Amino acid sequence: MNPKKKALGRGLSAILESPDTDITSEDISGNFVAGAIASLPISQIEANPFQPRTDFDEETLTDLAASIKEQGIIQPLTVRKMGYDKYQLIAGERRLKASQIAGLTEVPCYIRIANDQQMLEMALVENIQRENLNAIEIGISYQRLLDECNFSQDELCKRVGKDRSTITNYIRLLRLPAEVQVAIRDSKISMGHARALINIDDEETQVTILHNIISKDLSVREVEEIARNLNKQSSVRKEP
């Protein structure tokens, strides 16, 4: 078995918490000390290029910054070393942004060894499990784990702790028209509304109903009923 693939198969904790990848600090003999925390200048930490999150709510960042000012950073960030005095963020972008708002110049970090594929996996899984991604970002993350990390459905279910139907429902959102996806991102409609719209075949009709959901404050049940009626009408038209 390919040892690289095996390491990836152990999941997020295999890299974030494994002593095999921990190079945070050394003891006086030059041996690496697993579990140690380094204080790194924020100016030396680059953003994660594999970050799946596209939206950072300013209000929640401000709240987190206030908490950090009061209590400090409880959960250290995780980074990988890129060169002399240069690091790349693996996990904790919200904490990093909030720390900057709070006026911090240094943040506590674990330093790990990780290649690009491991970085991608960690960024996606960490955000799904620990951050408040919107439904579209979650769907994109699941799809990327399947496509770019070559996970099977069963492997993905185990990795993120979700059942197959939950993952499938999120991925199906990516088939919706762009305008509907934006409405989901902006929390203008719920996941329940979105699932009902998925059951409508015509994209123009999906967008029209989206407008009605927003303007008329339609409930999920009402949209589900509309979808059922449209599908019945479509079935009748298809009959010879």
pLDDT tens-digit profile of 133-156? 789 988 998 998 899 888 899 999
Of 165, 189, 204, the one marking the end of a domain is 165
Q: Residue 203: pLDDT above 90?
A: yes
d(CA 106, CA 99): 8
Catalytic residue among 17, 26, 93, 225: 93
The rounded percent of the chain whose pLDDT value lies above 90 is: 44
Least confident of 2-16, 55-69, 190-204, 211-225: 2-16
Stronger pLDDT, 124 or 32, i.e. the higher one: 124
Give residue 236's pLDDT: 57
Domain match, 90 and 183 both:
no
Q: How far, CA to CA in Å, does 217 sit from each of 111, 121, 158, 221, 222?
A: 48, 38, 37, 12, 10
Q: How many domains does the chain have?
A: 2
In a domain, 9, yes or no: yes
Residue 209 has pLDDT above 80, yes or no: yes
The amino acid at 88: Q
Q: Bigger pLDDT: 48 or 183?
A: 183
Looking at the structure, do residues 181 and 156 belong to the same domain, yes or no?
no
Specify whether 131 is catalytic.
no
Q: Is the pLDDT of residue 27 over 50?
A: no
3-class DSSP state of 124: helix
- Which residues span the domain enclosing 193? 176-238
Note every long-range contact of 80-85, with CB atoms under 8 Å and residues 24 or more positions apart, other chains counting: 80/111, 80/112, 80/113, 80/114, 80/119, 81/23, 81/111, 81/113, 82/46, 85/44
Do the Cβ atoms of 210 and 183 come closer than 8 Å? yes
Judge whether 170 lies within some domain.
Answer: no
What DSSP line would sit under 129-146, residue for residue? Answer: HHS---HHHHHHHHHHHH
Residue-level pLDDT at 127 = 72
Percent of the chain with pLDDT over 70: 79
- pTM over 0.75? The answer is no
Query: d(Cα 61, Cα 69) in Å, to the nearest integer?
Result: 12
